[in-house]
Amino acid sequence: MRLLLSKQAILVRLVSIALVVGLLGWLFDLTLEFLLVYQMVLVGWHYKHLFMLDNWLWRDRKLSPPAGDGSWQQVFDGIYYRQRKSRKKNKELRVLVRRFRDGAEALPDAIIVLTSDWSIIWCNKLAQQLAGLRWPMDEHQRIDNLIRNPEFQQFLQQKQFDSALELVSPLSDEVTLEYRVLQYGEKQYLLIIRDITQIKQLEQIRKDFVANVSHELRTPLTVLQGYLEVMDVDNMPAPPIWQKAHTVMLEQTKRMDALVQQLLTLSRIEAAAKVQFDAVVDVPAMLHLLEQEAISLNREKQHQLQFQVDPNLRVTGMTEELRSAFSNLITNAIKYTPPGGEIQVCWQRQHQKALFSVTDNGEGIAPHHVKRLTERFYRVDEARTRSSGGTGLGLAIVKHVLSRHHSKLMIFSEPKRGSSFSFSLPPELVVGVQTLHQPKLPRKK
């Protein structure tokens, strides 16, 4: 139990001893001398304890305090009590730090703790293996001085950490690493590096497989389709069931052909290098052609088609990819709007961006389907889509094309009222808009 020193008690004790000493001195007629000796004994007693304290704190370094007298014992006990408390706290902190480090070591990723100026506070063993860091030699070194890749340095400078960065490992060209940064606490960052070589390889195998299969299917399909088309079933001495079989076979080969074409388009886009924004795409001319195609496609359904196109709005990008995106959205509107419906196609400037939208008053889509529409082979209604000749790949292609052109597909739809599919291309892709990152355009010949 802690006992606080009482000022009053000390004062009473000092005064009563001084009185007794003074009285004794008075008896011998040596009052002042007796009081002086008393003062000297008091000072000596305090010095003795001061030396004991100094010895305990700086030389002796024993855990338990020295045995002092009176009020000094209480001071020793107080210091001892505080020391024990902070020792316990330190131990708890050490356990906590060890637990965190053990946990971080057990993770399958490289972990590097960084300050806001990117200097290293701590890293785990995997960070030493994956990023080539040396511990503890690299402590307090800036990570961008150690991983000297311009893309990585730009990634840190831009501080847009909601997406990860993929780079070839600084130690081996055959290893691909994913860098992810998380901010925590006031100004601390966690850099997580993951080896994604295997995932990348599997992804590549999948892409190659789809591309190869689609390519291999093309020739037998063309042969089949060719024979079916030239076959004159009406004048053949065959039972009537053959006529029906012939129609179905022709329909199905056409569907399969569309599927193969879409798969090849998707594979081409996936395998293509980064978009070089140096070619100007004449979107108004492209939309004019698509309008002609839409009119001939629309003969059966008699929709009211309306195209509102800004004739001067051109962008930079990949012509074929953008054509595929525009065409898929327009064709879908025609496919999924019942006869006599209204379809509006817009290509307009909006706040320096180029906005494309296709709005219809067709069957619409329930909200729970909307967020999955861009998945490959996702269809709202299998039977209806099949009958309309759909492949389930159109919107997946649109999504890919748009992400390569720094844009996103937006879908608003209400069942039985219609849908609107739109996207806007950013100002840096719009020809004639001055931005900081305006791509260089080729000179007209």
Residues that bind ligand ADP (CB under 6 A): 328, 332-333, 336, 360, 362-363, 365, 373, 379-381, 385, 390-396, 419
In the complex, minimum distance from the CB of residue 410 to ligand ADP, in angstroms, rounded to a whole number: 13
For 77: left if phi > 0, alpha if psi spans -120 to 50, otherwise beta; the answer is: alpha
Q: Is the dihedral of CA 426, 431, 435, 439 positive or negative?
A: positive
Shortest distance, position 385 Cβ to ligand ADP, whole Å: 4
Of 210, 220, 214, nearest to 260 by C-alpha is 214
E strand residue ranges, 31-134: 110-115, 120-123
Residue with smaller CB distance to ligand ADP, 246 or 268: 268
Q: Which of 47, 50, 49, 20 is nearest to 35 (CA)?
A: 20
Pairing state of beta strands 315-316 and 280-281? antiparallel
The nearer residue to ligand ADP, 169 or 328, going by C-beta atoms, is: 328
In whole angstroms, the minimum distance from the beta carbon of 154 to ligand ADP comes to 35
Residue closer to ligand ADP by CB (options 317, 392) is 392
CB of 350 to ligand ADP, least distance (A): 21
Residue 214 beta carbon to ligand ADP: minimum distance, rounded to whole angstroms? 15
Angle at 365 between CA 360 and CA 368, to 5 degrees: 150
Sheet with strand 165-168: strands edge to edge: 120-123, 110-115, 188-195, 176-184, 165-168
User: Is beta strand 418-425 parallel, antiparallel or unpaired with respect to 410-414?
Assistant: antiparallel
CB 395 → ligand ADP: shortest distance, Å? 3
CA separation for the pair 151, 128 (Å, rounded): 20
Q: Which residue, 101 or 384, has its beta carbon nearer to ligand ADP?
A: 384
Whichever of 74 and 385 has its CB closer to ligand ADP, that residue is 385
Judged by beta carbon, residue 25 or residue 394, the one nearer ligand ADP is 394
CA distance 100 to 87: 20
User: Minimal distance in Å, beta carbon 301 to ligand ADP?
Assistant: 13
Cβ closest to ligand ADP, residue 391 vs residue 407 = 391
How far out from the chain centre does Cα 349 lie?
30
